[in-house]
Structure formats: C-alpha cells, structure tokens
C-alpha cells in the first residue's frame, strides 16, 4: 500500500506546490481533485490538467485516482447532463495519464423515493460505466451519505451502506472505502470492510469524532432547528486520522490480510485543522504521522 491525500483540501494552491510539499512530507501519491474551474465555487479544487502527469513525475508521486465527487442522479436535468459530461472528461484524462480509477458519488434525485432512484440509476449509469470500461477505467464511489444535499438531511448518495455497495457493484461500480461515515451511521467499519474487500479499489482515510451526549439531544439525524449549515449534525464532526474513533491499526490490518495493495488517501475535512493552508498542512502532517507507521 501507499499513502497519499486528496488535493481538494488545498483548492487555492497549484498542483506543483502541493506535490512538492507532499513529497517532502513522505507522501507517495495524490488523489487529484478535478472539479470544473468555477470562480463562483472557490471551495472546489481543480488540479487536473495537461501538465498533471509531468508534475507528479517530477516530484516522484503517483496518481492514486482522479477525484470528481458529484451527484450523478441530480434532479436538475441540465445540471445532470453537465455532471455526466465532465465525468466523461475525467475518464478521458485518467486514461491518458494511465490512471485506472475515477472517484465519484452515485448521488440521488431528491424529488424521488429511494426505490425510484435505484431504478433511475439502473437506467442512467450503465452507459457511463461502459464508457469508462472501454478506456480501461473504473469508477470508485465514496460511501458518504451526502446528507447536506437533501433538504431534510437524509442520505443523498445511494452508496452509504453495505447493502447499497452490493447493489452498486452489480452496476459495475467499485468502492472508495471511507470508514468515517460508517462510524456515525452505527456501522462497524472493520466488519463492513472485511465483508466487502472485493469491491474496494481505493481507500480514503478520514476520521470522525462522536459526542454521545449531544446525540442524545438530536438523534442520529442530527440538528434540525436553527441549523447553521446543511452539513451541521450537532453531534459528530470529521477529524484527521488518529484524532477520532476509527481503529486504524485494525483497519489497515484487515486491508493487508485481504490482499489490498492500493492507495490510502487522506481526505482532510477536519474543522480544527482548517481555515488556512498552513493549518491544513499541519493536519496532513498529523495524518501522515498516524498512518505511515502502519503502511509498510
């Protein structure tokens, strides 16, 4: 296995600057963010271009995956078409770079029931899978509920549970396994990983901190009244690996035992180690010091 991180945590930095710093800190790979450049959405990173391969090679880094995590089932048909078009461009660029993985979400049409969404996905998504397969690329889906996409905070990415992993596997998708989401959903990430290793093609390393006393006041669906943001739960928050509840020693051991030899990519969404590029880098240093001794 090799340790890397997702470049989305440094949206204002160039890939060259990120790669130089990453190599100096002992990282071996980058999961390169590939959202469309949009000045109206400065939090989305756009680090993938024609120079990506040269930049990574110059710094001795591998490309673990191309990252474009969007809603493939969006209810706005015009926006959905744009998302699909950009995803195909990501596939083309990944293939040109010799990278077999593109990360995304399944998503959800929030105007439809889950059952209706499953049928919608079965109609809409196989052509995207076929497009990628023809170019030697597969999609790896992160198991984040994306509850902030739903007006009532319900899961809006139909890939958040082992039940749904088996379903998406039947459509030709694979898993970008992130244990942090499972913890707050009440799913043991070690057990879930051990039972689904055949679907795992990429791993994202993110931790989560739980406040059981606050959960007693809100329930698992989180804060509803006077909610400051769609992404506020009131009782849990994402953390850097090693600062939360995930048993990384056991998780990495299960990966090794199962024969996984791919990438573990830190996804930095820790609010404590955010706010400035310097704070983000400090968080990535903590993650590297936590995980590197486990990855040999």
207 and 180 Cβ atoms separated by less than 8 Å = yes
Looking at the 3D structure of the chain, how many domains does it have? 1
For residues 191 and 248, what is the distance between their CA atoms, to the nearest angstrom?
Answer: 13
pLDDT of 39: 74
What are the residues whose beta carbons fall under 8 Å from the beta carbon of 218, sequence distance 6 or more? 224, 233, 234, 235
Cα 41 vs. chain centroid, distance in angstroms? 18
pLDDT for 85 equals 98
Q: Determine whether 1 is exposed, middle or buried from the number of CB atoms within 10 Å of its CB (0-12, 13-18, 19+).
A: middle
Instruction: Name which of 94, 116, 114 is nearest 104 in CA terms.
Output: 94
Q: What are the tens digits of pLDDT across the range 243-257?
A: 999 999 999 999 999
Quote the pLDDT of residue 214: 97
Per-residue tokens: 269: 């969404």
**Domain with 219 in it:** 2-294
CATH code, domain with 263: 3.20.20.150
pLDDT of residue 275: 95
pLDDT of residue 292: 97
In the prediction, which pLDDT does 37 show? 86
Question: Which residues of the chain carry a pLDDT beneath 70?
Answer: none
pLDDT at position 270 is: 98
């Amino acid at each position: 296995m090799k340790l890397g991180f997702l470049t989305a945590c440094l949206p204002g930095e160039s890939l060259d600057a990120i790669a130089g710093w990453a190599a100096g800190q002992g990282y071996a790979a980058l999961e390169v963010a590939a959202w469309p450049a949009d000045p109206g959405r400065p939090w989305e990173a756009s680090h993938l271009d024609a120079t990506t391969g040269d930049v990574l090679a110059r710094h001795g880094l591998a490309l673990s995956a191309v990252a474009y995590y969007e809603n493939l089932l969006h209810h706005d048909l015009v926006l959905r078409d744009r998302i699909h078009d950009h995803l195909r461009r990501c596939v083309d660029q990944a293939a040109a770079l010799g990278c077999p993985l593109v990360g995304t979400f399944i998503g959800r049409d929030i105007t439809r029931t889950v059952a209706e969404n499953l049928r919608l996905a079965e109609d809409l998504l196989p052509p995207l899978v076929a497009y990628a397969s023809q170019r030697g690329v597969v999609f790896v889906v992160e198991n984040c509920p994306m509850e902030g996409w739903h007006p009532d905070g319900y899961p809006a990415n139909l890939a958040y549970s082992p039940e749904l992993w088996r379903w998406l596997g039947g459509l030709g998708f694979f898993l970008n396994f992130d244990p942090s989401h499972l913890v707050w959903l009440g799913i043991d990430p070690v057990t879930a990983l051990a039972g689904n290793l055949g679907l795992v093609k990429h791993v994202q390393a993110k931790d989560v901190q739980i406040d059981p006393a606050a959960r007693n006041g809100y329930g698992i669906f989180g804060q509803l009244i006077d909610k400051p943001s769609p992404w506020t739960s009131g009782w849990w928050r994402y953390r850097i690996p090693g600062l939360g509840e995930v048993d990384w020693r056991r998780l990495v051991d299960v990966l090794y035992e199962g024969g996984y030899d791919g990438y573990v990519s830190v996804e930095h969404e820790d609010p404590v180690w955010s706010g400035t590029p310097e704070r983000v880098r400090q968080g990535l240093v903590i993650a590297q010091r936590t995980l590197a001794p486990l990855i040999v």
